[in-house]
Amino acid sequence: MKPAQRNNTCYRRHQRGMSIMELMVSVVIGLFVVSAVLVNYLGSGVTGRQQGSLAQLSEDAQLAFNLLARDIQMAGYSDPTGTATVGTATVATFGRLYSGNAVFGCERVFNDAAANAGSATCATTGSTATHALEVNYQATSRNSILSSSNVPTDCLGNELTISGSYYVASNRYYITATTATSRPELHCVSPGRSAQPLIENVESMVFWYGEADSVDPRRAVRYVKAGSVVDWGRVVSVRICLLMRSAAPVLSSDDYLSYTDCEGTTQTSADKRLYRAFYSTVTLRNKAGY
């Protein structure tokens, strides 16, 4: 019986479980591992949302620049017509069908963006944080999208009305908040039409106009805001700043909430959204041809 008892004792010793101390150490180590994984997961989620928002507002800014740049590059276009006679010689000095201003701007919003008569007018009161721009040119089949009736269209695809013997596009761009969503959006409208949003989450838009002088009418010698433009006929380029924001709040109180606006002023994101200012300069190509 004694040998059997010794074998049972050895068996019981091999089956002994963990002590309380070993169990506690294992639990603590497990908690550390789980906490590290959880912190890393949460951090990755926050970083991912911020990076996704930054990519989205960068993409929206590029789309807005593409829309604005296309129109501004066409500003002032006109089919050439006629020649002038100097003395007894006829020289190829071309005239224009359209001879109005290529661009016009406001340091505030338009007084009535959809006004049908004449050029747009600027509001005299209100915020100067966001500007407005009117782009004018002769619209033809070569520089405009045609409707199903083969008529040139405006920035929203509406058919233009003929003025005399040709069509004139007057596209007006400005920022306003949509009533239903309260999102600031880049809008476009042409005279006598209804405005429509183009790009959302554009917080503000600022323009500086490159103005030439009489010495070299094709080269900008200074960039000024609309209120300081001496002669709109001498504007040969436009510098644009778009202040974009993320669609949703993605920052926390622990994040860096400061950003620089279009004027170079440091601001604080009170709504926990990402804000970024983007810049671009566009040349009025048709101002170099006359």
Reported as a pLDDT band with limits 50, 70 and 90, residue 5 is low
Average pLDDT, the chain: 85
Whether 95 has a pLDDT exceeding 80, the answer reads no
pTM (two decimals) = 0.80
Asked if residues 234 and 213 have their Cβ atoms less than 8 Å apart, the reply is yes
Q: Which residue would you say has higher pLDDT here, 44 or 278? A: 278
Query: Phi and psi of 200, rounded to 5°?
Result: -95, 165
Please check the confidence at residue 290 and state whether its pLDDT lies above 50: no
| Residues 114, 192 contacting (CB under 8 angstroms) | yes
> Can you tell me the mean pLDDT for 217-229?
93
Give the number of other Cβ atoms within 10 Å of residue 63's Cβ: 13
Residue 178 CB-half CA count within 13 A: 14
* Cα–Cα dist 192/222, whole Å: 34
Dist. CA 118–CA 16, nearest whole Å: 97
Concatenating the DSSP letter of every residue in 146-172 gives: B-TTS-BB-TTSPBPPEETTEEEEEEE
Assess whether pLDDT exceeds 50 at residue 269.
yes
